[in-house]
Amino acid sequence: MDKNQIIDIVKKILAEDLDLNISYEQIGDEASFLEDGLALDSISMAEFIDHVERRFAIRILDEDLDAATFKSLGSVVSLIQKRSADRRPVAEAL
Amino acid sequence: MNANRVVGCEMEPEAEALASSRSVLHLGGETATVEALLAIGRERWEAHQAHRFPALLGICDVEMLSLQLTAIVDRHPAMFCAADTAPLLMCDAYIAANGAVNGSVETGSHSVEPTQWPEGFAVLSSGTLGAPKVIWHRHRDLLATGSMVMRRLKLTTDDRVLVTVPLHHMYGLGAALVPALLASAEIHLLPKANLLGFNDALRAFEPTLVFSTPHLLRALLRRKSESLSACRGIVLAGDAIPPMLHARARQVFNQVFDLYGSSELGVIALSEPNLPQALHPLEGVRAFPADRNSEQSNLIVVHPHAATHIAQHGAISVVPHEWDTRDIATFNGSGGFSIQGRADLSLNRAGKLLVLAELERTIMGWPGVELAVAIVLDDETAAGKAIALVIKPSADTLTINALKQLASTTLPTFARPDRYILVPDLPCLGSGKPDRNTIIKDHCHG
C-alpha cells in the first residue's frame, strides 16, 4: 500500500469513524493530532489507534505512543508503514 | 517580594506550609518553583482587585496556576472551572489563559450581591448526574484535607508526582496537587492529559506516584505491561475499576491506591495499597451506613473539612453536617468500606438490591469484554424491571451466546441480564465516563 492510499484511509478513519466533527476535506496531509491541530483527546486517540490497528492489521506498540510520532499525519503514515513492514516477515514465514 | 505575606491578614499554618513549599512544578513545557508562582500570581491578582468573584477558566498554564495557588494561599474569592465553562451570573470576570479577561458580566448585574457569597473558593461540579452545582470550600479546609492525604500517601520531598487530571476539580486540586505541594514533592502537571502525553511523561519524568482516572489508565494499559521500576504507585479515583484492570495497573505501577471523594467533601477515604475493597476514611472523617441493619446501604459521611455551601437552581444552601453521598457502600469488620455504585443506578430484582455498577464491573472482568453499561428497560420480567447490557467487545469473537453462558455460571439469577447488545463503540462524556443518557436513548427500546 503506498503512502497516498494510507493517507486516504487514515483521513477516512478521522472523518467517519471518530466523533471529531470534522470532514475528510478539512484534514490536511500534514495535520497534527496534538493540541495545535486535531487535538484528539485520550478517548479519541485510543479509538483512533484501535481503528488503525484493525484497518491495517498492525500492532501499535507502547514505544510508538509519543507526541513526536503523532505530531503530523505524515509521521503517523510512516509509523503505519514501519509496523506493516515489521509484520510482513512473520506473515511470509507462515 | 516576600513570598509569605498575605495582604491585610495573618497566614494560617497550612497556607504558610504551602507558601513555603520547595516543590518544583512542570506544566506546559515550563518549570517554576512555588515562590516564583506566588510572585507571578500576586502581581496578576493586583490587576484583578476590582473583581469580587472572578472565574479562572482552566488551569492549563503557569500563569493560571500562579493565580490559583495565590488565591489559595492569600484567600482570594474565586471560582475554579473548566476552560469552556459557560458564563455564570455570579462571576464578575472570566480570566483565561494568555491573560484574556472577559468582564462583560459587570459587577452589579447580579440578583444577589457578591458580598453575600460564602467565603472561600468555589468549584463547579460536572453535572453528569444532574444539574451543575457551584460548591464553596474554605481555603483552610482544602489545605487541611490535603495535609491528611499527604500523610496517608506518605508523600515526601523525594517523591515525583505526576498529575494527569484537571486542576479545577477537587480530585486534581485537593487530592493530588495540594498534598504534593505540602510534601515539597516535584510535580509534573498534565491537566489535559491524553494517551500520548501520559506515556511521554511516564518515560521522561519517571514519577514515583501517579494520579489518574480509570478511563485514561484503560487506554494506556492496552499497550503497556512492563513495570515502571521508579514508580511506587498509582492513585485512582472515579468509576470503580474492574479487577482485571486493577491487576494490570498493579503490574505496571506496582501499587494501586483507590481514592474516594466528591466535589462536596473533597477526599473522604483512601484504600490500603492493592486493596480496593477496603477504603479507610481520612483522620477525623466518619463514614457509616444510612441503614445500620442492611448489608448494603447509602453511605453517610461527616467530614470536618467539607464544603460549606452549595448553589443549585439559583439557591444557596448550607452543606448538612451528615452528608448522604448517594453511593451504596458495603462495610467490612475493620471499619473499612467499599463502594458498590450509585444508589440512583440500582434497582430491586426478585427482592434483592442489584447495583448496576457492580454488575458492570463483574461483566467487564469477563474475557472479550472491553466496556459494559447496564441499562434498565421499560419491560417487566418476573424478577422486576428488565436489564440490558450494552457491551463494547475487546475481541471480535465475543458472542451473545458466550455472554449468556458466562452469566449462567457466574451470576446469581436475579443479576442475570435479560438482553445483551454488542456495539462497536460506546458514546462517552468528556470525562471519559460512558454517556448513559445517550446509551439509554439509543437502546432502551431495543
Q: Which of A43, A59, A64, A83 to mutate to test the interface with B (most CBs of B within 10 A)?
A: A43
**Among the partner residues A34, A47, A62, nearest to B223 by beta-carbon distance:** A62
Residue B84 at interface with chain A, using a CB cutoff of 8 Å? no
Q: What percent of chain B has pLDDT over 70?
A: 91
Q: What is the pLDDT of residues B353-393, one digit of tens each?
A: 788 888 888 898 888 888 899 988 878 777 778 889 999 88
Give the residue on A whose Cα is nearest the Cα of B164. A42
Size of interface A-B (CB pairs under 8 A): 51
CB contact under 8 A, A43 and B219: yes
CB B60 within 8 A of CB B192: yes
Q: H-type helices in chain A, by residue range?
A: 3-12, 42-56, 73-93
Q: ∠ CA B137-B16-B82 to the nearest 5 degrees?
A: 40
Give the contacts of A34 (CB within 8 A, at least 6 positions apart): A40, A67, A70, A71, B196
Q: For residue B257, what are the contacts with CB-CB under 8 A and spacing of at least 6?
A: B153, B233, B234, B235, B236, B270, B271, B272, B273
CB within 8 A of B396, min separation 6: which ones? none
Average pLDDT of chain B to the nearest whole number: 86
Give how far Cα B242 sits from Cα of B276, B347, B362, Å: 10, 21, 7
Domains of chain B by range and CATH? Answer: 13-341 (3.40.50.12780), 350-443 (3.30.300.30)
* pLDDT, average across residues B92-113: 62
For B269-284, the pLDDT digits (tens) are: 999 998 877 899 999 9
Which residues of chain A have a CB within 8 Å of the CB of B221? none
B1 pLDDT band, cuts 50/70/90, is very low
> Which of A43, A61, A65 lies nearest to residue B196, judging by beta carbons?
A65
B197 touches chain A (CB under 8 A): yes
Q: What is the pLDDT of residues A64-91, one digit of tens each?
A: 888 888 888 999 999 999 999 887 654 4
Residue ranges making up the domain that contains A73: 3-93
The H-assigned helical ranges of B58-138 are 62-74
Asked if ipTM goes beyond 0.85, one says: no
B338: Cβ contacts below 8 Å, ≥ 6 apart: B276, B277, B278, B279, B329, B330, B332
**Measured between CB atoms, does B83 come within 8 Å of chain A?**
no
CB < 8 Å to B190, chain A: none
Write out the E strands in B43-108: 54-57, 78-81, 93-95, 101-102
Using a CB-CB cut-off of 8 Å, the residues of chain A touching B58 are none
Cα distance between residue B393 and residue B404, in whole Å = 14
Contact A42 B200 (CB under 8 A): no
Residues of chain A positioned with their CB less than 8 A from the CB of B219: 42-43, 45-46
Under an 8 A CB cutoff, do B199 and A62 touch? yes
Check if the beta carbon of residue B146 is closer than 8 Å to that of residue B182.
yes
Per CB-CB distance under 8 Å, the chain A contacts of B428 are: 43
Interface contact A60-B223, CB threshold 8 A: yes
Q: Searching chain B, which residue's CA lies closest to the CA of residue A19?
A: B427
Rounded Cα gap, residues B128 and B125, in angstroms: 8
Domain count, chain A: 1
Closest CA to B67 of B90, B96, B89: B96
Our CA-based measurement puts residue B436 at a distance from the nearest CA of chain A, in whole angstroms, of 16
Cell numbers linked to B381 = 420480567
Model pLDDT, residue A39: 79
CATH number of the domain that residue A82 is part of: 1.10.1200.10
Choice among A5-14, B103-112, B357-366 with the minimum mean pLDDT: B103-112
- Characterize the bridge pairing of strands B346-349 and B352-355: antiparallel
| Cα nearest neighbour of B394 on chain A | A50
Helix axes B214-221, B195-205, angle to 10 degrees: 80
Check pLDDT > 70 for residue B115: no
With 60 as the cut, is the pLDDT of residue B45 above it?
A: yes
| Grid coordinates of B277 | 475493597
Q: How far is B160 from chain A (nearest CA, A)?
A: 20
- Chain B: closest CA distance from residue A17 (Å): 10
d(CA B293, nearest CA chain A) in Å: 42
pLDDT exceeds 80 at position B248: yes
Residue B31, min C-alpha distance to chain A (Å): 19
The residues, any chain, with a CB within 8 Å of residue A92's CB and separated by 6 or more, are none
pLDDT tens-digit series, residues B161-207: 999 999 999 999 999 999 999 999 999 999 877 888 899 999 999 99
Is A42 close to B216, i.e. CB distance below 8 A?
yes
In angstroms, the separation between the Cα of residue B370 and the nearest Cα of chain A is: 12
Closest CA–CA distance from residue A35 to any residue of chain B (Å): 10
**Where residue A35 falls among pLDDT bands split at 50, 70, 90?**
confident
